Each structure stands twice: as structure tokens, then as C-alpha cells.
């Protein structure tokens, strides 16, 4: 309950309004279904295919159009989607992060509220309270969650660690000690692929958590912690030093491309969300270890992927059935073990999941939850985009003072900092 209250506090979400019925616009009886997402990488694509298979089992006559726009974290997909929504050409259902990200799609204008579907499918009982709270915006549910991802994971090559007699770092001091040892041996200590511009901000979330703690980090998104705080300066200095241990080709690599460094034993550690676990699986790579990044023990930096229903969806009935599958036990069990995420529902069969995911499911129950900003849970999209851009620039500029001032300004622009 306390964990969920924290999410609740962070989100300053509005109260649930009256449950209103699903609208009746849209054509019935079509045999198509267009699903829009950015899931094209290994693990992502397999997970989605798994959920398509679950859908086809229930609705075999429907042809699914897999409308993907490649780019991790929705780098390219979000703009395409916004254009389609405002241009009156929406897909039947689309991927959106649970949380304040939904605001960017102007839900009251472009989406159907899903309150009655939540009720008829019993999701208000099958989903944890914190997730339900995260999904409410302006008093309604606008999307159905399919998973929970963890953003703050330190993946490491077991081969490299055991060959050098190392154990995962618990503190930043240990991290730098390990980094020096590995650098001297010609191994990339801290693997990064920041080609798409969100990955630096992603890794920095973990550094902020490790430096400010769960409460201090969460407060950055509610105004309780100021970005001018001396601990933010410290986090930026730490991160700047971490970046000095990355691969020289980082700007040319995406998150999954960078993961190859671990697979071929040329790199040691990477901070990435647990879709990396799905990607490793898709590459038949199992010699990886996982740990919380330095200072992150007991904190779960969370996000959730969900699916929404645009107004005037061409295949509305099929889209409603898609949402039913997405929120179902069978749908989530088909999707998550391949995707590298745990179910949003509380009743999935744990035996279907690998050792990493079983451990993540336990942490999800026991850890302090904080929201990821890069993946839509912590802040409105315009602020999240500024944060990502500022932290992308930091990789090359290394300018701590300027970066901290920009982060504070972004918080002011969002109306959260004074
Ligand atoms: C996240 C998304 C994950 C995964 C990742 C990399 O934003 O929530 O499902 O796809 O991006 O693309």
C-alpha cells in the first residue's frame, strides 16, 4: 500500500470520475485490426507476435495489420501516431505508456474512455491499485496495461565478471574500481548505445535514484526535490565520470546494438530496461547477469506499456476485443515471457517466466516503486522530451552546471518547479 501511495503521490492524479459507457461510434463487423507500436527489436517483436497469436486463437477470422514504426522507447512512433490521430486516420489501437504520457494525445478529444470495459472485464480487481492509479487521467481509464517493465537494471557479462573475479558493484565507488580494472584489460566497462537520444536519460534515472534515493528521485517530478539540489550536481558528476568508460561507438548504436558488446564479451555492464532480457533471449544469449545499478537496491523504477482505443477506429469491435485480450491472463502470459516484462495482472503463472523475470516479479511486490520519466510514467510528454534532450546533449558536452540549469528550467516550464 505504501509503495502504491508513493506512485500516487508522484502522479498527483485526478480522482476517478463516474464510469461512462463505451461509445458506439465506429463500424462493426470488419475483418481487420490495425495495431500500432514500436516493437520491432528482438524480444519486442516476439512478444507482440505472442499476443497476436492469443488474439487469433479467439478471433481467427480477423487479419491483424502489424503497424510498427521502429525506434526504441517510441522515438519515431510517437510523432507518426500524433499525426495520424490529429489527421483523422487513427490505427485501431496503439501502444502508449501508462501514466502522464497519455496527456500528449489529448484523450478527451481523440480517445474513447475505457471505464466500462475495465468494469466488465474485472480489471479493477485483477490489476494492482498503483497501476490502476497510474492509468487514470482526468477521471478515466484511457488504456489497458499489458505489462510492467523495470528501467533500473544493470546487465553484466558473467563471462567477463568471472574471468576477472568481479562481483556487481553496489556503490558508485565500486563501479569505478571495476571500471578501471576492466579498462586496463581492454574491455569496455560501461556499455552505451545512445543513437536514438533517450538512452542517456534512461541511464541517468538510475544514477539519480542511486544518489538521491527513492524519495529524493520521485520528488524531482513533483517539485518536492529541486533540480538545483546539490545531490543532482553530484549525480551529474558521477554520470559524467561513468560516461568516460563507455564504448567509443556509442553514438552509432541503439540499445539492442549496444547489447552485442555483452554477448561477445567485449563489454561488461549496461544500464537498460528489462526489455534487454527479452532481447538477450531472442539472441539465444543466456550468460548474462543482472543486478540493481549502484545505490538502487530496493527501488523499482517502473513503467508499463498499454493499449488505447482512438475515437473513430475503423475496426472498433475488433479493437475492443484486442483490448480484452491485452488485459487478459492468456494474453499477458503469451506476451510477457517473450517481451522480457512481468504481467500487469497479479495472477499470471510464474512458471512461464525465466529466472530474471521471476526475480523482477518478487521485487515488484517488495520494492519501493518510483516512476520512469523516459518511459512516460513520471511526467507529461513535453517535460520528458526536454529531459531526454538535455541528457542526450550531456554525453558530448559534459557541462554539469549548464545541464543542471537546463533541467531546472525544464521543471519550471512544466509548471512543477518555482
Ligand atoms: C520502452 C517500452 C518497452 C520497450 C523499450 C525499448 O519505452 O516501454 O516496451 O519497447 O521502450 O523499445
Of 125, 54, 61, 66, nearest to 92 by C-alpha is: 66
Q: Do the domain assignments include residue 358? A: yes
- Does residue 69 fall inside a structural domain? yes
Cβ within 8 Å of residue 257, ≥6 positions away: 193, 195
> Do 61 and 13 belong to one domain?
yes
The closest-lying atom of ligand 1 relative to the alpha carbon of residue 275 is 4
Same domain, 155 and 144: no
Other C-beta atoms closer than 10 Å to the C-beta of 34 total 20
Distance from C-alpha of 370 to C-alpha of 2, rounded to nearest angstrom: 12
Q: From first to last of its 418 residues, what are the pLDDT tens digits of the chain?
A: 445 544 544 443 333 333 334 443 344 579 999 999 999 999 999 999 999 999 999 999 999 999 999 999 999 999 999 999 999 999 999 999 999 999 999 999 999 999 999 999 999 999 999 999 999 999 999 999 999 999 999 999 999 999 999 999 999 999 999 999 999 999 999 999 999 999 999 999 999 999 999 999 999 999 999 999 999 999 999 999 999 999 999 999 999 999 999 999 999 999 999 999 999 999 999 999 999 999 999 999 999 999 999 999 999 999 999 999 999 999 999 999 999 999 999 999 999 999 999 999 999 999 999 999 999 999 999 999 999 999 999 999 999 999 999 999 999 999 999 9
pLDDT at 331: 98
The partner residues of 129 in beta bridges, in order of sequence, read none
Beta strands in 63-113 (DSSP E): 63-68, 93-97
Q: Are 239 and 381 within one domain?
A: yes
Nearest Cα neighbor of 116 from 24, 208, 198, 54 is 24
Residues 6+ apart with CB under 8 A from 143: 96, 98, 102, 114, 135, 306, 307, 308
Nine-digit cell string for 324: 480484452
263 domain-assigned: yes
What 3-state DSSP class applies to 84?
helix
Q: Please report whether residue 201 resides in a domain.
A: yes
Give the strand pairing for 299-303 and 153-157.
Answer: unpaired
- Output the residue whose Cα is nearest ligand 1's atom 12: 72
CA 73 / ligand 1 centre spacing (Å): 4
In terms of domains, do 78 and 200 share one? no
Cell 536514438 locates to 196
Among the listed residues 138, 145, 87, the one whose alpha carbon sits nearest the alpha carbon of residue 108 = 138
Q: Are residues 79 and 61 in the same domain?
A: yes
CATH of the domain at 219: 3.40.190.10
Residue 293 lies inside a defined structural domain of this protein: yes
Q: Are residues 324 and 267 in the same domain?
A: no
Residues 88 and 191 in one domain: no
How close is the Cα of 364 to the center of ligand 1, in Å? 18
- 381 and 274 in one domain? yes
The torsion region of residue 162 among left (phi > 0), alpha (psi -120 to 50) and beta comes to alpha
Expressed in angstroms and rounded, the spacing between residue 103 Cα and the centre of ligand 1 is 18
Q: Is residue 418 part of a domain?
A: no
Residues 193 and 257 in one domain: yes
The pLDDT value given to residue 231: 98
Q: Which of 40, 71, 74 to mutate to test the pocket of ligand 1 (most atoms within 8 A of CB)?
A: 74
- pLDDT attached to residue 29: 75
**Nearest Cα residue to atom 9 of ligand 1:** 305
- Residues 323, 47 contacting (CB under 8 angstroms): no
Residue to probe by mutation, ligand 1, list 35, 38, 381, most atoms within 8 Å of CB: 38
Residues 113 and 159 grouped into a single domain = no
Of 55, 68, 13, 214, which Cα lies nearest the Cα of 146? Answer: 55
Does the residue 65 lie in any domain? Answer: yes
- Calculate Rg over the CA atoms of the chain: 21
Residues with CB under 6 A from ligand 1: 38-39, 44, 72-74, 97, 149, 273, 275, 303, 305, 375
Identify which of 96, 102, 149 to mutate to test ligand 1's pocket (most ligand atoms within 8 A of the CB): 149
Distance, first Cα to last Cα, the chain: 30
Residue 1: per-residue pLDDT: 41
CA 344–ligand 1 middle distance (angstroms): 15
Do 137 and 200 lie in one domain? The reply is: no
Residues 165 and 119 occupy one common structural domain: no
Domain count, the chain: 2
Cα 389 to Cα 396: distance, rounded to the nearest angstrom: 12
Domain residue limits at 213: 150-301+374-413
Amino acid at each position: 500500500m505504501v509503495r502504491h501511495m508513493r506512485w500516487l503521490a508522484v502522479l498527483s492524479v485526478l480522482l476517478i470520475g463516474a464510469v461512462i459507457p463505451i461509445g458506439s461510434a465506429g463500424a462493426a463487423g470488419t475483418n481487420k485490426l490495425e495495431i500500432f507500436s514500436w516493437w520491432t527489436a528482438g524480444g519486442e517483436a516476439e512478444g507482440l507476435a505472442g499476443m497476436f497469436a492469443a488474439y487469433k486463437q479467439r478471433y481467427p477470422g480477423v487479419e491483424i495489420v502489424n503497424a510498427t514504426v521502429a525506434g526504441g522507447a517510441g522515438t519515431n512512433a510517437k510523432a507518426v501516431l500524433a499525426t495520424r490521430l490529429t489527421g483523422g486516420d487513427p490505427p485501431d489501437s496503439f501502444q502508449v505508456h501508462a501514466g502522464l504520457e497519455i496527456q500528449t494525445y489529448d484523450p478527451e478529444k481523440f480517445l474513447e474512455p475505457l471505464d466500462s470495459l475495465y468494469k466488465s472485464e474485472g480489471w479493477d480487481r485483477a490489476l494492482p491499485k498503483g497501476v490502476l492509479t497510474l492509468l487514470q487521467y482526468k477521471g478515466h481509464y484511457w488504456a489497458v496495461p499489458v505489462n510492467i517493465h523495470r528501467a533500473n537494471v544493470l546487465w553484466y557479462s558473467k563471462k567477463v565478471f568471472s574471468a576477472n573475479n568481479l562481483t556487481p558493484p553496489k556503490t558508485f565507488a565500486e563501479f569505478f574500481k571495476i571500471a578501471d580494472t576492466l579498462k586496463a584489460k581492454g574491455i569496455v566497462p560501461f556499455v552505451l548505445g545512445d543513437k536514438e537520444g533517450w538512452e542517456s536519460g534512461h541511464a541517468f534515472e538510475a544514477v539519480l535514484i542511486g544518489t538521491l534515493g527513492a524519495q529524493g528521485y520521485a520528488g524531482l517530478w513533483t517539485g518536492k526535490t529541486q533540480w538545483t539540489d546539490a545531490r543532482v550536481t553530484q549525480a551529474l558528476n558521477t554520470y559524467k565520470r561513468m560516461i568516460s568508460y563507455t564504448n567509443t561507438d556509442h553514438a552509432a548504436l541503439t540499445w539492442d546494438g549496444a547489447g552485442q558488446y555483452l554477448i561477445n564479451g567485449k563489454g561488461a555492464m549496461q544500464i537498460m530496461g528489462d526489455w534487454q532480457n527479452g532481447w538477450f533471449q531472442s539472441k539465444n544469449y543466456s550468460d548474462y547477469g543482472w543486478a540493481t545499478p549502484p545505490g538502487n537496491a530496493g527501488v523499482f523504477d517502473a513503467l508499463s506499456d498499454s493499449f488505447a482505443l482512438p475515437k473513430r477506429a475503423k475496426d472498433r469491435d475488433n479493437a475492443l476485443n484486442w483490448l480484452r485480450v491485452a488485459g487478459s491472463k492468456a494474453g499477458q502470459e503469451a506476451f510477457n515471457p517473450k517481451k522480457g516484462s512481468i504481467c500487469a495482472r497479479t495472477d499470471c503463472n510464474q512458471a512461464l517466466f525465466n529466472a530474471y523475470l521471476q526475480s523482477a516479479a518478487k521485487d515488484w511486490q517488495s520494492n519501493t516503486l518510483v516512476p520512469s520519466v523516459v518511459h512516460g510514467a513520471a511526467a507529461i510528454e513535453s517535460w520528458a522530451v526536454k529531459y531526454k534532450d538535455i541528457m542526450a546533449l550531456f554525453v558530448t558536452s559534459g557541462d554539469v552546471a549548464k545541464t543542471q540549469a537546463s533541467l531546472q528550467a525544464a521543471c519550471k516550464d512544466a509548471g512543477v518547479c518555482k
